[in-house]
Structure 1
Amino acid sequence: MSIDIGIAKKERVAVSEHLSKLLADTYSLYLKTHSFHWNVTGPHFRSLHTMFEEQYNELWTAADEVAERIRTLDVYAPGSYSQFAKLTSIKEETGVPDWKNMIEQLVEGHEAAAATARQAIRVAADDGDEGTADLITGRLKEHEKTAWMLRSMLK
């Protein structure tokens, strides 16, 4: 049965392309945060270990919501590391930085994801996809708030 939700295929595909970038950013940020959770050391170990766990759990749930929105628009969601690597704006970390650099990288990552979300909101709004714009607005607010909280730890 074909989809008929009031948004033409061309617009659904365009919105999904931006959602796919947001999904890649979300998943990449999830991986980085989870790695930092496993590998953090230093005087703030306990608080950072716990905070990173809260953050990666939130990102995991968010990735599922974004992917399901792509599917709602009748487009297949990317789901491989190679696809995410091509789509993400999050810088990969292959080493183990100190706790302060972990926080700095996560601030940068959340700000990059916020920028990706902001672009996606514009496309969704222009294409009459209020449902996607609403979902992404929530993601934008979460990334901005998390960046602020992390940044505050650096002062």
Structure 2
Amino acid sequence: MATPAVNIGIEEGARAEIAEGVSRVLADSYSLYLKTHNFHWNVTGPMFNSLHAMFEEQYTELATAVDEIAERIRALGAQAPGSYSDYQRLTAIPEESGAPEAMEMVRQLMRDHETVARTAREAFAVADGAHDEPTADLLTQRMQLHEKTAWMLRSMLE
């Protein structure tokens, strides 16, 4: 038996465009999760305790977020990307395979949170234009979180 068509009041083409934007948010979020977890494991120096704990708090929040984001993509009737090659193709977050010094980690994460906020803002415009309130709400929450986190990280660099 065929799967019933998605009929949530948003035209199929708009749903696909929204899902593409939200997929970029998912890829950015997952890439940022991975980078933050890497930094949690590998941070050193006089701020070790505070950064180690802060990075854990951040990657834990991101782990929950990626699930919510992926579930929204599925609710729109699209497949959620779930492979490293998908994320590499979709993300705007630069990979860090090494372990830079602690304040460079903070600097990179600040920029990366700003990147996710910008990606979410782009996707928000499409969702808002299609009157997709649930997606717009999700993206608003993500923008708020990433902008606040970027501010907190930026404050550490002053």
**Residue of structure 1 equivalent to 2:111:** 108
Indicate whether 1:81 and 2:108 are aligned: no
Distance apart, 1:62 and its partner CA: 0.6
Query: What secondary structure does 1:128 align onto?
Result: coil
Partners of 2:98 and 2:61 lie apart in 1 by: 23
- Which of 128, 131, 151 is equivalent to 2:154? 151
Distance apart, 1:130 and its partner CA: 0.9
Query: What secondary structure does 1:95 align onto?
Result: coil
TM-score, scaled to structure 1: 0.99
Indicate whether 1:60 and 2:63 are aligned: yes
Partners of 1:128 and 1:143 lie apart in 2 by: 23
Query: What secondary structure does 1:5 align onto?
Result: coil
**Structure 1: tracts of 5 or more residues without a match:** none
Number of aligned positions between the proteins: 155
**Structure 2: tracts of 5 or more residues without a match:** none
Superposed CA RMSD: 0.5
TM-score, scaled to structure 2: 0.97
**Residue of structure 1 equivalent to 2:136:** 133
**Residue of structure 2 equivalent to 1:92:** 95
CA displacement 1:9-56 (0-9 Å, x = unmatched): 111100000000000000000000000000000000000000000000
**Residue of structure 1 equivalent to 2:74:** 71
